Structure 1
Amino acid sequence: MEEKNIKNSTKAFEKALIQSKPTHYFLHLYISGTTLKSIRAIEIIKGICEDYLPERYTLEVIDIYQQPELVKQAQIFATPTLIKTLPLPLQRIIGDMSQTEKIMVGLDIVPKND
């Protein structure tokens, strides 16, 4: 019986340890040039990250005109496109990034309302 309590305590401790460690987000924002749409997408994503993931994110902005070889590799069909590679699962958000609530749900910052 005592061994079972130790196993339960260990599992509870491990779960609490995982939950207490802040998750680091790795994001890739694909844009096309310095258009108003691209600049706005960068501002919105940076704002969300600074407000909800301070010091817990890496954002790489990729201009498809500057790095066209990455378009095929990342399967980019439209810009702006935001890809969250970590934490899993991988998420892809396509569009003007103006719907911040959908972005936050897509990034798992806020839970999805069913």
Structure 2
Amino acid sequence: MLKSKTKQSRPKEERWQLRLYIAGNTPKSSTALINLKRYCEQHLAGRYELEVVDLLMNPQLAAGDQILAIPTLVRKVPVPVRKIIGDLSNEEKVLVGLDIRPIK
């Protein structure tokens, strides 16, 4: 029996699922959201989904991702899950923390 060789196709670009937990419209929450949107557009343009969860409106949602501080960014996909706490102002730390390789 002959086995056919499958062509090694280029893997599809990964889709990223990110969730940002905030608590209302605080300066830290606003800064985190602005920074995150900028990083995503620079490094993941067209390949990400961003969900913003306001824990003042939905506090029960904090338990699912074990949120202990806010703002907190959770990378759901690709796995493994990763979390970053704070206003996301240090781009290098955010990219390393999420394992995003900068576009060159």
TM-score (norm 2): 0.87
> Which residue does 1:60 correspond to in 2?
51
> Which residue does 1:107 correspond to in 2?
98
Match of 1:17 among 10, 13, 28: 10
> Which residue does 1:48 correspond to in 2?
39
> Which residue does 2:76 correspond to in 1?
85
- Which has the bigger relative contact order, CA under 8 A and spacing at least 6? 2
- Greater Rg by CA: 1
The Cα of 1:79 is off from its aligned counterpart by 0.4
Matched residue SS, 2:75: strand
Matched residue SS, 2:64: helix
> Which residue does 1:39 correspond to in 2?
30
TM-score (norm 1): 0.80
Q: How many Å separate the matches in 2 of 1:40 and 1:75?
A: 22
Q: How many Å separate the matches in 2 of 1:75 and 1:98?
A: 22
Measured against aligned partners, the alpha-carbon deviations of 1:11-34 in whole angstroms (never above 9, x if no partner) come to x71xx422xx11110000001110
Q: How many Å separate the matches in 1 of 2:17 and 2:74?
A: 8
Identical columns (%): 46
| Aligned structure 1 segments of 4 or more residues deviating by more than 3 angstroms | none
Q: Which runs of 5+ in 2 are unaligned?
A: none
- Aligned 8 A contact 2:20 2:51 in 1: yes
- How many correspondences in the alignment? 101
- Aligned 8 A contact 2:20 2:73 in 1: yes
Letter in 2 for 1:33: G
Q: How many Å separate the matches in 1 of 2:76 and 2:92?
A: 19
Q: How many Å separate the matches in 2 of 1:109 and 1:75?
A: 23
